[in-house]
Every structure is written in C-alpha cells, then in structure tokens.
Amino acid sequence: MSPHEPLPDKLLKSSFSVEEALRLGISRRRLEGPDLIRPSRGIRVPELALQGLLQRARPYTAIHETTALSHFSAAMVYQIPLPSWAQDPRLMDLSRAAIADSGAKDRLGQPRRPEIRGHRLRLKADEMTLVSGTRVTTPERTWLDLCGIRRLTMDDVIAAGDYLVSEHERTYHPRTALVPLSDLRSFVESRHRVVGLGRGRIALDLLAVGVDSPQESYLRQILERAGLPRFIPNCPVVDPWGGIIWVDLGNVEFRTALEYEGEHHTTPEQIAMDARRDRRTRFSGWNQVKITKHDMARGDAYIIRLVLDALRAQGYRG
C-alpha cells in the first residue's frame, strides 16, 4: 500500500493504534506516511484530525485491558471542577491496574510515555467504564483518586465532590447527580487500601447536595471554617406572592442570602433577571449579599466580614 493511499474513514477522524490499523489491512508502509503524526510508539494521528481528550486517549486505553484514563484527565472527561493548574491539555493521566477481583497477577508497570502521566492502581473491574469507546475510571473512583493528590486542597476535593452529588429540582434548571451522595458514601465505605481514602472519608461529611458551581463550594467552606451559621445551597425563599426564589446559599434563621455572581451575570438579559430576583428577595424580608471573583480574591477575612455584617443586620449576635 502506497504511503499516500487514502485511509479508511474509520481512521481519519481521531488517534488510532498501529495494531488496530494492521487488523484493518493497512500496511506498515502506509503507517509511515507523511500525513500521520506519531505522538508515541504504536500510535498514529491523522494530521487533519480534530479530536478531544477522549479521542486522543482511546488507542492508549485499547493497548491493554487494564489501562484507563484516570485522575485529572478522567475528571476533565466528567467535567469535574479542577484548579486551572490541573487542567493541562498536553498531558494525559493514564493508569494501568491489576484487576483487584480477577485473581490474576498483572506484572505490567505503569504507563511511561512522554505525553503521559503514568499511574499504577489496584482497581476493581467495576471501577472502570467505557466513555465513547475510551476506558475511563468511574466518577466515584476518579473522585477518590483526586482525594489522594496532595497538591489539591481539601476545598478542591470538596468542590469536586459537591459537583458529583449536586441535584435539585429548580424548575428552570433541574439537575441530576452524577453520583448520588448515598452511592458515593457506599462506594468510599467499601474501599480498602486506596491512596486518598482517609481524606475521602473526611470530605464526605463536608459535602453538600445542591451546589451549582465550585465558587459556591469554596464560599461555603470559608463560612463554615469561620463558624458562621450554616448556609444551605440552593435555598428556597418564598416571596410575598407565594412564588419561590432559589438563592445560591441561604440561612433561613437570619434570612440572609448569598449570590455568587459569575461572568455570565454581566449580560443585559442576566442583569434584568437578577434585578427582578433582587427585588423579590428584598420584599421577602431577606438581606442579600452579592459576591464576585474580585471579592473572593481579597481573601477569607474580607468575605467573612461581608457575610457577618449581613447576618448582624438580621439579628445575628454571634
């Protein structure tokens, strides 16, 4: 087969392994063609392919049945929030595992390639799943592995866990948990000898169902560490007309609402919606505090003072 002969459609859109191509009848000479990029041994990428993380990772996970995308890379597949430094698109976290319940000994070492952060794990067969043909650690196992990464703070781990268990029935924005809290708890309680298990057990008791963004998770942790009254995520406020306003974080006892205002709150449509929400919240007798990323950048003490002043205006004497 000529090195310039067209490839079959199946191999044109994303990365593939040399072994996969050979099974399709592609010659080794064709696999050395100038239109194929060789990011690693045994892997080829069509030069015009537009592919995401899953497409890049698929041939690597196909090389061995116990190889899976994991850690930061698996978190990005599930859109689990991570600090910006942990989202490096140039690298892939790849784990090779002895299947814990297979009874077989797997002597293969962790993956070692220039574009790979290799890991060696003990995994049960049900801790891996296929996502668009790519083997990935399950969401709950991914979270537990994140707990074992010491560079991630406890707040980072809690924000990731809040994302997994978040669910609510807001009429305009209902949400189903990727992993219900009870299932995540059962999973963690059933694990043994896993790096990160200790932090995972602690973090479980600090997760909250209903959080809509990592910023809300970080904000909630600041307030809880300061010992302020508990704020409930996605707290319902009943207005004087019997309608319900859902506030990001609310304390019912002192009728205080916190709203984290992200970048999307700067559009004309969102500004108008926020103004209506603010009027209804005020008419309901609640004090409202709006917090932005610039406020968060000023540090915990500044945030605590903003919220404390709002609580005291509503009768809090702590």
Q: Residue 56: name the closest of 131, 5, 150 by CA.
A: 131
Bridge partners of residue 290, in order along the sequence: 259
Last residue of a domain, one of 210, 244, 265: 210
Give the range among 9-13, 95-99, 119-123 with minimum mean pLDDT: 95-99
Q: What percent of the chain has pLDDT over 70?
A: 91
Residues 86 and 141 in one domain: yes
Last residue of a domain, one of 150, 183, 210: 210
What CATH number did the domain enclosing 252 receive? 3.40.960.10
Q: Residue 11: name the closest of 62, 55, 60 by CA.
A: 55
Whether residue 30 is contained in a domain is answered as yes
Whether residue 178 is contained in a domain is answered as yes
DSSP character at residue 50: -
Burial per residue of 185-201, b for 16 or more beta-carbon CB atoms within 10 angstroms, e otherwise: bebbeebeebbbbebbe
Determine the pLDDT at residue 128. 95
Whether residue 196 is contained in a domain is answered as yes
Q: Look at residue 104 and tell me whether its pLDDT is greater than 50.
A: no
Q: Look at residue 102 and tell me whether its pLDDT is greater than 60.
A: no
Residues 17 and 84 in one domain: no
Residues 229 and 117 in one domain: no
Averaged over 54-58, what is the pLDDT? Answer: 90
Determine the pLDDT at residue 275. 84
Q: Within 10 A of 23 (CB to CB), how many other CB atoms are there?
A: 9
Q: How many whole angstroms from its chain centre is CA 63?
A: 26
Whether residue 94 is contained in a domain is answered as yes
Domain count, the chain: 3
Residues 295 and 229 in one domain: yes
SS3 289: strand
Q: pLDDT digit string (tens) for 237-266?
A: 998 888 898 999 999 999 999 999 876 556
Question: pLDDT category, 99, cuts 50, 70, 90?
Answer: low
Averaged over 10-27, what is the pLDDT? Answer: 88
Length of the chain: 318
Burial per residue of 208-242, b for 16 or more beta-carbon CB atoms within 10 angstroms, e otherwise: bbbbbbbbbbbbbbbbeeeebeebbbbbebebeee
CA quadruple 125, 129, 134, 136: dihedral, nearest 10: -80
Whether residue 23 is contained in a domain is answered as yes
Give the range among 4-13, 70-79, 227-236 with minimum mean pLDDT: 4-13
Residues 167 and 57 in one domain: yes
Whether residue 26 is contained in a domain is answered as yes
- Given CA atoms 42, 48, 51, 55 in this order, what sign does their dihedral have? negative
Residues 258 and 277 in one domain: yes
User: How far, in Å, CA of 238 to CA of 240, rounded?
Assistant: 7
Averaged over 46-58, what is the pLDDT? Answer: 86
Residues 122 and 258 in one domain: no
Residues 34 and 72 in one domain: no
Q: Within 10 A of 278 (CB to CB), how many other CB atoms are there?
A: 15
User: How far, in Å, CA of 215 to CA of 224, rounded?
Assistant: 14
User: How far, in Å, CA of 291 to CA of 215, rounded?
Assistant: 10
> How wide is the angle at C-alpha 210 spanned by C-alphas 204 and 212, nearest 5°?
105
Last residue of a domain, one of 191, 210, 229: 210
Q: Which domain holds residue 40?
A: 9-51
Residues 262 and 299 in one domain: yes
Task: Provide the mean pLDDT of the chain.
Answer: 89
Determine the pLDDT at residue 267. 67
Give the range among 43-57, 176-190, 257-271 with minimum mean pLDDT: 257-271
SS3 48: coil
Q: Look at residue 168 and tell me whether its pLDDT is greater than 80.
A: yes
